[in-house]
Chain A
Amino acid sequence: MTDLPEDVILSVEDLQTHFVFRGFVARSVEGVTFSLTRGKTAAIVGESGSGKSVTSLSIMRLLSSPGQIAGGRILYRARDGRVLDLARLSAREMRRIRGREIAMIFQEPMTSLNPLFTVGDQIGEMITLHQPVGRAEARRQVIELLDLVEIPAAATRLDDYPHQMSGGMRQRVMIALALACRPSLLIADEPTTALDVTVQAQILDLLRRLQSELGMSILFITHNLGVVAEIAHDVVVMYAGRVVEQASVRTLFAHQKHPYTKGLLASTPNPGRDLAGSERQRLTPIPGTVPSITALPPGCVFEPRCGYAIPECRAGRPPLFPAGPDHFSRCIRHEIM
């Protein structure tokens, strides 16, 4: 159908996702392009409103009305070797991919599980949906999955309802649910944001361990650069619906080639660095706020908040410039960074 390099499992090309309200269009995702290598973790980083969650929901085709994919391709290499364009797959074919090949975990473990069914039922449902197994076998697999995500006393906890569990436990249940059919790709949309820091670290550990055991690829959506450093191999930085910088995690933390990424890093607390000198280092916030997606500035969308801006920045939307090996920046001044 379409070719995709052998080691790439997902390739998003020029994705456009729009929300149309009564003839008026919000371009939440505008020309997003990135790819994910098999067995690796790519992180999409950005503030709220940057389009990172909309991108992940577009891949899963779970956008709620009036959101719709208006253009671009989402190429995915299925288990049978076919390369599918998820943006154009029929609803029926998409249902066979969802859960079975691509699974998703969400930000709010408190509300993402159905309060009226036991966690065992909810995980078991995923198993029986995609595999020809009976109830007893499904139950056995559920216990195995709960063990896998390190829930103690799995054989009894599966009869619990979500409200009987803590936030961290529920997120483990969500992960068990997502892994039920051993997906090739796991999309994790801010899975640790709602959790306490210690629990957050445990969940990241768990995801890393599961990735090496099961060999799945992970697309990790977050606004937290600390989390990115922990888990990602490659990073995509998004701002106002666009990719502004893209690199491997080491490259990105070593040399940022876009002022937004620089600003994001400067406004991220880092206890080691901040207390290293005799004086406490101050965080440097990015001035201003994220522009409304319906009232973007002309030219570079980051220009109004950018300390490096020059008049040329307003001349037009900059393309993604190559800024090094496998490193891209949407800044006309990337060379001076």
Chain B
Amino acid sequence: MARYILNRIIGVIVVLFIVATVVFVIVRVTPGDPAAVMLGPDATAADIADLRIRLGLNQPIPVQYLYFMGGLLRGDLGQSIFLNEPVLTALGQRAEPTFFLTIFSILIACAIALPVGILSAYKRGSVFDQVVTTLAMLSASIPSFWLGLVFIEFFAVKLGWFPTSGYGGPGDSFLSRMHHLVQPAVTLGLVNSALIIRFVRASMLDVLGDDYVRTARSKGMGEARVVLKHALKNALIPILTVIGLTTALLISGAIVTETVFGLPGVGSLIVSAVTRRDYPVIQGALLVIAALYVLINFAIDMLYLVVDPRVSY
């Protein structure tokens, strides 16, 4: 067990090292010069050259890479070129909406997918099952930005229940900020529930015919208990896996949703960093997202241990 965790941690470090390198290279092979973008079209070549020296962009790429990696080892993601603050600080300030958006979205997705998927498997072949299967397919093919726009048009513009965009002003209460998150979270939750529904249905179908389910029935217990205790727990491992993957995807998927709903989260930070060629911010944000990915996967693997006594690492 301790050995397994140690191996996993080494694995995480290797993955993050590779991600850091790939991100560093990709950012630098994309055309565009942050100094030129920053100074605008009227800047002279001398001004640009001067700024490049100040930003360290005149150094050979390998030297820049060593600086970047050295910073990472000290836990320093560098300084944003445009925001005039450390990348870590910029990320921290933008973390709240992304964090809550991800949490709410996955909760909404699970709240829809678990009951619907279980019932759909239990009533296999029924009208309910067919409607669910069709709707799940449909909603998986709906782009979240389109659904978001439809929601804004209907619930925000027509009905006025929710703000059209943004995250409230600086003085707004926590509750008001969360109110701004309702629509984006429902949008993301709905779209992502489709995949989870299909997984829940499929893995429940797998276990509902198993012998121990028949044994449970032979004890004389009610159907709800047979399905929710004996069958569901056995179906949980694939379900947990897909929930973990969806959560990880939601973090990166937030880029689109945050843009549509004008949320000042990590997603929109990345978008603006890309347009401004703010290398350190792009690098830092992608690294943090990659780290979260790896962490969520690790957490899911640990959950297997809780669910299934046969799993041992």
Contact = CB atoms under 8 A, between A and B. Distances in A.
B215 A114 contact: yes
Interface string A114-134: 111100000001100110000
Contacts of A125: 219, 221
B219 A126 contact: yes
Contacts of B307: 116
Interface in A172-188: 174, 177
Interface in B202-240: 209-212, 214-222, 230, 233-234
Given A161-B309, A161-B310, A115 B220 contact: no
B234 A112 contact: no
A162 to B, nearest CB: 9
Contacts, number: 68
Interface residues of A, number: 29
Nearest to B212: A114
B96 interface: no
B309 A112 contact: no
A115 B234 contact: yes
Contacts of B219: 98-99, 125-126, 129, 177
Interface stretch (A100-108, A138-146, A227-235): A100-108
B153 interface: no
Interface string A131-172: 000000000000000000000000000000101000000000
Contacts of B309: 115-116, 161, 163
A60 B217 CA distance: 10
Interface in A74-125: 94-100, 103-104, 106, 108, 111-117, 125
A174 B209 CA distance: 19
A62 interface: yes
A96 B211 CA distance: 21
Interface residues of B, number: 20
A2 interface: no
Contact of A62 (B212, B214, B222, B230): B214
B230 A95 contact: no
Given A113-B215, A115-B310, A64 B220 contact: no
B308 interface: yes
Contact of A96 (B209, B218, B220): B220
A117 B217 CA distance: 16
Contacts of B230: 114, 117
Contacts of B210: 111
A104 B218 contact: yes
A95 B310 contact: no
Contact of B220 (A100, A106, A111, A174): A100
B218 A111 contact: no
Contacts of A95: 220-222
Interface in B231-258: 233-234
Contact of B215 (A64, A94, A106, A116): A106
A116 B212 CA distance: 10
B220 A98 contact: yes
Contacts of A97: 220
Given A95-B221, A98-B218, A117-B233, 12 more contacts: A62-B218, A98-B217, A108-B211, A112-B212, A113-B215, A114-B230, A115-B308, A129-B219, A129-B220, A161-B310, A177-B215, A177-B219
Interface of A: 60, 62, 64, 94-100, 103-104, 106, 108, 111-117, 125-126, 129-130, 161, 163, 174, 177
Give me the 10 closest cross-chain CB pairs, A-B, nearest first.
A99-B220, A98-B220, A114-B212, A111-B211, A99-B219, A112-B211, A104-B218, A161-B309, A95-B220, A126-B219
